Structure 1
Amino acid sequence: MSTRTQLPTPGPDVAADPDAAVAWVGAHLGDLALEGAEGAEGLVASPAFRGGQPAADAALAALDVTGYAARRNEVWPEPRRGASRMSPYIRHGLVDLRSVWDRVADAPSRDRQKYRDELLWQEYARHVHARTGRGMRAPLRHEPAVGSGWSGEPWPAEMACMRLTTDELRRDGWLVNQTRMWLASQWTVRAGWDWREGEEEFFRHLLDGSRAANRLGWQWTVGAGTGRPYGFSRWQVEKRAPGVCAGCPLRERCPVDGWPDTTAPPRLLHRAPGLGRGEPGADLAGPSDVVATSAPRAVWLTFESLGDADPALDAHPELPVVVVFDEPLLARLRLSAKRLVFLAETVASLATRHDVEVHRGRPGEVLHGRDAAVTHAPVPGFGPRAVRASPAEVHPWPWLVRPGAGSVRSFTAWRKGARV
């Protein structure tokens, strides 16, 4: 039974006005959003980010990482921060890693190196994902460090540091890396909750939520990837967010005043397949050259790659573009409306430059028989969907470092072998 529905293409007003974008999402995707049960008043846009190629281009043009090495871990007040805020645009392919890498070429050497290391961490996460696929949901090398003795919610609102960070997560759909580690460590290493549930909470809200970076970040923080968990405590808050503790109702009886009561996680008797040198994995790297079976009549853009520089779109800018909101997937994920609005704004912006069709349904059903060109997406779901869609052309993913047969057991070892 077909479940596909063609939606009205969001117009220029959706690209320009967050209220119009929220209204479009409410009318066509609201029942799939995390806040859908609250009705239209529960659907909101992120006040911190706008979707679309112009917003991404402006962010890239304004990118200045001078001082990044010293300020990248600062949290509060916001002017202290050194984070670039490029991640939502990188996540959805509006800017690729190579463009950001080149953009910072003239930055001070220490800042350039630190920032490029962060870009390589994003690429490393994709490599691990390409080798392990859905196996990233299981601990890669160690049992997580799980705290005990904590009662109540892992992120209690009466803790000023938790209120500050969770409010930003749920309001803006974005966090600096330091507070991502705070929340992940607090959730599992101290409070003892399952890290996979916390990862899901991040994924629902983050505009840049990706299974590759999000899961690897959580595994690193809880010690499942390295055996060395990150211990969140008051010390980090006072160092990175001065003044927050002074206004906390619990400042005289802080529940995170000392180090978490955990021991180093034991090494697993096994490890995830595909991490070692030359080991077979899920191999989500995709083709190294264009694979063509017929002449394309449309371009299929996935939500991994919605930018004007998408390789398939760049090769066929004259063809109509097809975008599919995957109804079964979105019904299962229950993403926050903030992320759906960001995507709607991006599609609306795209439609000002291309003939765009928007559908709600199963991508394989919508694209089957369309002879579409598509860019390979390095995520587990792409392969099955591409089989059903039978694309006319599959273009290579624009890797910063193309995956090879080397070990991905650690970022440090992988980094030494990476050739950019």
Structure 2
Amino acid sequence: MVDEVAVRPDSVLAGFESTTRRAWASVWALGFAVFVVTTTEMAPVGLLPEIAHDLDVSSGSAGVAVTAFGLVAGLLAPVSTVVSGRFDRRALLLTILSVFTAGNLLSALSSSYGLFILSRLVTGVIHGLMWSIVAAIAIRLVQPKDGVRATAIAFSGISVALVLGVPLGSSIGNIGGWRAAFGALAVLSLLSLLVVFLFVPRLPVVESVAWSDFRRLAGSRALLAALVVTCVVVVGNYAAYTYVAPFLIDERHIASSMIGPYLLLYGIAGVAGNFISGFALDRLGSPAKVLVALGLAVVVSLVLLPLLNSRYAVVVLLVVWGAAYSGLPVALQTLVLRSGGDSGQAATSTYVLVFNCSIAMGALLGGFAIDTSGASAPIWTGAAFCLLSVLVSLMVTRTSSSAEATEGP
């Protein structure tokens, strides 16, 4: 099977020695779409207290908005990737953004808890497909020599969402209510749809993913280890992060109007974490070693958050947490792609499944913890799982070292 990411077929850029400005505009349009999708996924995190209060449910119940989204997105990622395999990639992108526009509008208009959860399910249904096709689209939009840069621009939308999208949504929610925040997201989704329609060219499918590709990966121990690490660390992070707003308000007595700025610091640190992780991967050459180092940083920051009362300490720990966790997916994705071999897109789709289902599981565990044991409980739960991920990463490191020694001269 030929991975679509690795192939540049006949495209609108064929015959050009350098990537055109129009093509770069299409890459930035893709990055904008990634920003909108990621902001929609994470929006409830900064709005959780307002949603819970307005819909008259507990913080844990409000967190189901994250659980439902992640669970549906994860479980349907491989299915949607296979089913949509023969469709034009631009058409798929427009479909995804249309669904996100409708889903965010439904969230904004929700008058009950049930309707709000339904709106999250609507967007979650197609969310997993987005992550399965973004890298392939980015690379096909430009000349081969510009593929890495195009992919970086496209995925920069994730960092920008953490830096601007989630904190801005929290601020809008604090001023005009959480429904206003989702209304703004609906407008952004529609704007992104129009931008993609105007700038992204038609992209006929090159090579689709078949179920046999997933069966081929089933026997890969390296991929299994990568997915186990992904599951445990993501569960831990989102058990804590989903309920960071109630923790800051109830345990550190921070005003709800300041949640946006605190999340902004977390997001800015996350951008730095991406660069730190990339640098570490270049120097160490081992994703597992990077996972151990960053995982330990997450554990330390989570353990100290409930123990230190100083607001200055909270700021520092949020920065460390944001930087360390945001660097983890870079190493995880590298580990998954190396483990997937020639079936890179199928491996990525499986990674999307595990990642999103783990977000759902983490939000669910954190919700149970906060409802039964208080606002600090999700932080402790997250620390425990992240520590487990470090232990698993150490096992992967030792296994890799043993394999290298066996294959050595």
Which structure shows the higher helix fraction?
A: 2
Please indicate, yes or no, whether the TM-score normalized by the shorter chain is above 0.5.
no
Which protein is bigger by CA-based radius of gyration? 1
TM-score, length-scaled by structure 1: 0.29
